[in-house]
């Protein structure tokens, strides 16, 4: 087994569901040090591996340590490596770590961060980094895009919780029961979003009912609304407040959409790396969210998301990465780093990702 694959294999053997990433964090820290990088684990559990000469731009390569809490056996089967996180997103994180370690002479600073709790609404690790780190000159987000794909943007997200109570009563009483109120609220929420809702169109909102439970006296539900650029979140919340039927509506989390332009320096660097590796760059817009949404809210810098792995396998029962794609991803990232050496002198396009969340 190649050393690069051994690193990812080792990461996959360590279960790291959200809020339980400590063992993996220590493993990654030791691996980074073995690769010749300086490494620390911060107060919330993020791993920060650093290299470079320090004289030029700072490039943050931000991945995440956590996975969904659904373990999978780790196995190498021919050209594929199976395990929870192979795609989302230990594969991209391992690729970033190996690419940065191959460029210790980078005339600037390369920081590879493995963040905690990306799979949770609060994105605790990325929130801590954006609050404590000096703003970098560029950000690469480690998420699966396929080795020849580049994610330019993600929809925003509004996570909501709804609770309602009603007096205990007989089922035949014609008054509205708590369970009926919750079901009606979900229907009203879907109607408030509008008939053009779509999870496949980047410029349209869409809702998902995560959970609903209750009885005649008490009921609750949680829902997530994916938000396109320039969506008026406050107007939606105002509409929803009129259909709560005496219940309580709680905003659990809210992040705006993010989108970079094709002329963004990070996008250009990744595109050049893909071409050098023999591929044709594909530009992708996703209906999901990532830590790119979180850091773009405060860092107005070039950024894009990239990582080997098929995102259709995120959280899947057969999650796996094709080894050749993983190795190509390392090569693409290594090449992209070279093209970011002169980041401070490159002409920057209008930073679209600072505008897309505003109505």
Catalytic residue positions, numbered: 66, 118
User: How distant, in Å, are the alpha carbons of 180, 186, 228, 240, 265 from that of 196?
Assistant: 26, 17, 12, 18, 34
The answer to whether residues 94 and 323 touch, using CB atoms and an 8 Å cutoff, is no
Coil, helix or strand at residue 98? helix
**Contact call for residues 59 and 138 (beta carbons, < 8 A):** yes
Contact 5, 328 (CB under 8 A): no
Strand-pairing partners, residue 111, are 50, 60
Scan for tokens 């229907």, then name that residue: 187
Residue carrying structure tokens 């794609």: 325
Contact 254, 240 (CB under 8 A): no
Beta bridge partners of 49: 39, 112
Would strands 109-115 and 138-142 be described as parallel, antiparallel, or unpaired? unpaired
> In 3-state terms, what secondary structure has residue 343?
helix
**DSSP-assigned states of every residue in 196-265:** T--SS-TTS-EEEEEEEEE-SSEEEEEEEEEE-TT--HHHHHHHHHTT-TT-EEEEEEEE--EE--TTSH
In angstroms, the CA 271 to CA 186 distance is 42
Compute the chain's Rg from CA coordinates: 22
């Amino acid at each position: 087994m190649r050393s690069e694959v051994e690193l990812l294999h080792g990461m996959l053997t360590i279960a790291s569901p959200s809020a339980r990433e400590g063992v993996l964090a220590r493993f990654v820290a030791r691996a980074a040090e073995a690769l010749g990088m300086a490494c620390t684990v911060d107060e919330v559990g993020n791993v920060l591996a650093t290299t470079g000469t320090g004289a030029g731009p700072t490039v943050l390569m931000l991945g995440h340590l956590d996975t969904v809490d659904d373990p999978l056996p780790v196995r190498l089967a021919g050209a594929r490596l199976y395990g929870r996180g192979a795609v989302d997103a230990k594969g991209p994180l391992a690729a970033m770590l190996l690419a940065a370690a191959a460029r210790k002479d980078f005339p600037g600073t390369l920081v590879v961060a493995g963040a905690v709790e990306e799979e949770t609404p609060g994105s605790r690790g990325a929130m801590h980094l954006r609050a404590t780190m000096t703003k970098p000159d560029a950000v690469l987000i480690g998420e699966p895009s396929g080795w020849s794909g580049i994610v330019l943007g993600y929809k925003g997200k509004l996570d909501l919780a709804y609770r309602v109570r009603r007096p205990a009563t007989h089922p035949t009483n014609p008054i509205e029961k708590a369970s009926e109120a919750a079901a009606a609220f979900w229907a009203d929420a879907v109607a408030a979003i509008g008939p053009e809702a779509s999870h496949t169109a980047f410029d349209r909102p869409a809702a998902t009912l995560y959970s609903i439970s209750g009885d005649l006296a008490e009921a609750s539900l949680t829902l997530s609304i994916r938000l396109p650029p320039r969506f008026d979140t406050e107007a939606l919340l105002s509409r929803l407040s009129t259909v709560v039927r005496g219940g309580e509506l709680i905003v659990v989390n809210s992040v705006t959409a993010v989108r970079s332009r094709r002329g963004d320096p990070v996008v250009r660097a990744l595109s050049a790396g893909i071409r050098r590796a023999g591929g044709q760059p594909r530009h992708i817009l996703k209906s999901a969210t990532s830590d790119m949404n979180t850091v773009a809210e405060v860092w107005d810098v070039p950024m894009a998301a990239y990582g080997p792995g098929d995102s259709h396998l995120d959280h899947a029962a057969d999650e796996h990465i094709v080894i050749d794609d993983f190795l190509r991803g390392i090569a693409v990232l290594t090449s992209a780093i070279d093209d970011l050496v002169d980041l401070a002198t490159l002409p920057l396009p209008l930073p679209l990702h600072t505008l897309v969340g505003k109505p």
